[in-house]
Structure 1
Amino acid sequence: MSEKASRLVRGLRNGEFQEQLRRIDPHENAMSRSRARYISALEEFRRLYGDRQVEIYSAPGRTEIGGNHTDHQRGRVLAASVNLDIIAVVSPTEDNRITLKSEGYSPVCVNLAELQPVHGEKGTSAALIRGVVSGLEAAGFQAGGFQAYVTGAVPGGAGLSSSAAFEILTGTVISGLYHDMQIPARILARAGQEAETRYFGKPCGLMDQMACSAGGLIYIDFANEPPEVRRLETDFENFGHALCIVETGGSHAAMTDEYAAIPAEMCRIAGFYHKEVLAQVEPEAFWRDIPALRKQFGDRAVLRAIHWFGETCRVSAQADALEAGDFPEFLRLIRASGNSSFQYLQNVSSRRDPREQPIALALAVSDRILDGRGAARVHGGGFAGTIQAFVPEDLVEEYKKTLDWIFGEGACHVLRIRKYGGMKVI
């Protein structure tokens, strides 16, 4: 049941809603930060819209654990929601419009009577909102209007998929306000993917949205529809390792063409066999036809397909290792994944400026610090952005200090897996 923003502020200041905050992140310091953040967001909502009946929603960022560039070819991935999230303070309206103000950005207003892509709107949050609503309504879930103030702790350049978190947040608000939180996670994910590809203008698979929507550490096999999703009850801290993400600088925004070339080249290989994606191609046929494939499509396309066939199999092996408690084998497979991305997928550096290779540098520094322990690999889309590292607990302080020294204070994020995806908090 919604309550006035002022009432929630008083309750948070008086120590109420402990259980709700603990679901987001049970660590005491994290709960204290969330409380202060929620109070600030509620007060900003009141300033913008008045002291209305409100609810608070949250959607997490995600990290790719395994399966680099496999999802868009209906492969397998390991992904996890993390303890950095985006929150929204919202109040329903009857004007059939979504009016949203994100911290640091101009307000947007989307008329829900107009759900086709709008010329000139690509690359904007309005496009994402419009696309999510369109996707949900196509799946049979009508949306209504609301006013919202949104603030995020998911860094935009950290490879934790702030755009997918925003999409899932939007869908979760609609689910909560108008469908009693009954829209399935896979429907929210599909709506988010539709929004990002068709409305926002960035090609993507389904991994980001599915991880943000489902929550926890999950294995996903996209071979069939709906995808097979299996939760893995694993905590890396139990193996004496921390999960770290390092922002190396640069933005994916200028790399869209390089990012898009990966699925395009993989699809060309699949097209040789009159198939849509590599998951439909027999590996034996691919290896047999390499001379013809390289002649028609070039060596890079062939190498990227080689990465895909190996990587999607590695994901299953990674999941098996974690479920068996064999963490050394899991780390070995993570290193193999990183090597394959570097050598075959070729998404560690950009062709735009060969002098700038921050991901490669971060991996080199990580190898020196880890010295055969833990593991590090390129994370997400690649070309610019982030690496991921599994760091032994006794090296975390040195690792973070060194990577922050090279790439800037706050570049290294020490993360925890969050159990829940998009959710109503209060």
Structure 2
Amino acid sequence: MMTPEKSARNAFHLMTGQPPEICVRAPGRVNLIGEHTDYNDGFVLPCAIGRETVVAASRRSDQTVRVIAADFGDVQDQFAIDQTIEALPGSAWQNYVRGMVKIMRDAGHGIGGTDIAISGNIPLGSGLSSSASLEVALGTMMQHLWVLPGLDPAQIALLGQKAENDFVGCQCGIMDQMISAAGQAGHALAIDCRSLALSPVPIPDDLAIIIAQSGITHDNVGGHYNDRRRQCEEAARMLDVAALRDADMPMLEAKRGQMDDVVYRRARHIVTENQRTFDMARALAEADIQAMSMLMAESHSSMRDDFEITVPGIDRLAEIMQRAAGKYGGARMTGGGFGGAAVALVRADQAEAVCASVREHYTTPAGTPPEIMVEKAAAGASLCP
């Protein structure tokens, strides 16, 4: 199978007849715990994965950005950077490119005309952050291609988040872009989404990360994601805190009688999920697999019952993985919800048994076997070697 780098290079040559000046990769991610806490200024614990987006690019002498998407039948887009950059209708891949270019130029970064080819192997709509990976790959590529001083991984991540919030229209938090930009091989990254403090947490060598695709795709630009954010903001206003990161269960219980039940349950998920994220980082550091298993199960239940972002297929998939892992690991839904993937952390010698159980007991809505990935934590964005 052709690698994303080879595919991007081939598409670039198809479009331009020349090899690219530069090639950059940025990984997808899986979140081990801490779901929807990021835009509540809370805490998350993701790791980068081996699946990635690659962009190949060269400078142009004019003010045109020309893009080819190898994974969409070599479809091309073109726009001028010295004119108003507008979004195309819907949430097409082109808008992530247009958004990053616009946001970076608005921030004063000296980007000129650029030819870009894109390819990746992150399943779309899978909860593994293909969009953030693309944004970070584009930002990192522009940094190197146009020699933009002062841009570090955190700043690139913030530019990607702003592009997604303000141009694409999904009010996501910072987690996805930050882990894609700043991930460390062999480590999860505990991220304080308010201060952007990063704390690497080693993942024990004898643990495997298993990601199983439900075959149920989601779209974060849709109303569900933004609705959850509005409900969390309403809860924070009622609790008189800047964000739900500042709330605790006694505060929430004291206001329960004044809250709509849905808003209360949304807040309860965030407050308890923040605590679970702290506890999970400690369990990982101590290689306490029983604590990890319990925390992942509690997180899934909270997402299902309080935040209401799982769907029956995802519930079944997580249950199959947990049952197969037994006392040797834990499983939960990962990502924004309403489809996507389930993740399991299991003892490495049990990984094949978990994968076999998923293949035996789960079929996607299309009637096909689920895609299963066994991963190790990967490094963040970088130039292709």
Report the TM-score, using the length of structure 1 for normalisation.
0.81
**1:181 Cα deviation from its structure 2 partner:** 7.5
Identify the residue that residue 88 of structure 1 maps to in structure 2.
55
Cα deviation code 1:107-156 (max 9, x no counterpart): 111321235544x4441233212222233234442212211221101111
- When the two structures are aligned, how many residues end up with a matched partner? 375
- Tell me if 1:322 matches 2:284: yes
Identify the residue that residue 275 of structure 2 maps to in structure 1.
313
8 Å CA contact retained: 1:58, 1:423: yes
8 Å CA contact retained: 2:22, 2:56: yes
Query: Which of 181, 186, 189 is equivalent to 1:218?
Result: 189
8 Å CA contact retained: 2:27, 2:52: yes
- Tell me if 1:423 matches 2:382: yes
Query: Which of 339, 347, 350 is equivalent to 1:384?
Result: 339
CA distance in 1, matches of 2:330, 2:149: 38
Tell me the C-alpha RMSD between the 2 structures: 2.3
Secondary structure of 1:58's aligned partner: strand
- Tell me if 1:372 matches 2:331: no
**1:374 Cα deviation from its structure 2 partner:** 0.6
Secondary structure of 1:340's aligned partner: helix
Identify the residue that residue 67 of structure 2 maps to in structure 1.
100
Identify the residue that residue 131 of structure 1 maps to in structure 2.
99
Identify the residue that residue 235 of structure 2 maps to in structure 1.
269
Cα deviation code 1:170-201 (max 9, x no counterpart): 11110110126751111111111111122112
Identify the residue that residue 348 of structure 1 maps to in structure 2.
310
- Tell me if 1:301 matches 2:268: no
- Tell me if 1:111 matches 2:70: no
Secondary structure of 1:204's aligned partner: coil
CA distance in 1, matches of 2:155, 2:210: 30
Secondary structure of 1:376's aligned partner: strand
Aligned in 2, Cα 1:91/1:301: closer, same or farther, shift over 3 Å? same
Q: List structure 1 segments (4+ residues) > 3 angstroms apart after TM superposition.
A: 36-41, 114-118, 137-140, 273-276, 280-284, 324-328
Bigger radius of gyration: 1
Aligned in 2, Cα 1:210/1:53: closer, same or farther, shift over 3 Å? closer
CA distance in 1, matches of 2:20, 2:301: 52
Identify the residue that residue 200 of structure 1 maps to in structure 2.
168
Structure 2: 5+ residue stretches without partners:
none
- Tell me if 1:148 matches 2:148: no
Aligned in 2, Cα 1:198/1:39: closer, same or farther, shift over 3 Å? closer
1:382 partner amino acid = G
Structure 1: 5+ residue stretches without partners:
1-32, 350-356
8 Å CA contact retained: 1:136, 1:188: no
Identical-residue share of aligned pairs (%):
24
- Tell me if 1:402 matches 2:362: no
CA distance in 2, matches of 1:167, 1:254: 15
1:45 partner amino acid = F
**1:287 Cα deviation from its structure 2 partner:** 1.8
**1:311 Cα deviation from its structure 2 partner:** 0.8
Aligned in 2, Cα 1:49/1:171: closer, same or farther, shift over 3 Å? same
Identify the residue that residue 63 of structure 1 maps to in structure 2.
30
Identify the residue that residue 256 of structure 2 maps to in structure 1.
290
Secondary structure of 1:151's aligned partner: strand
CA distance in 2, matches of 1:148, 1:371: 46
**1:165 Cα deviation from its structure 2 partner:** 0.5
**Correspondences of 1:217-256 after superposition (within 5 Å):** 217-224=188-195, 227-232=196-201, 234-236=202-204, 238=205, 240-253=206-219, 256=222
Cα deviation code 1:57-114 (max 9, x no counterpart): 1010011111011001100001111111111221111212221111132111132123
Report the TM-score, using the length of structure 2 for normalisation.
0.90
Aligned in 2, Cα 1:108/1:331: closer, same or farther, shift over 3 Å? same
8 Å CA contact retained: 1:172, 1:181: no
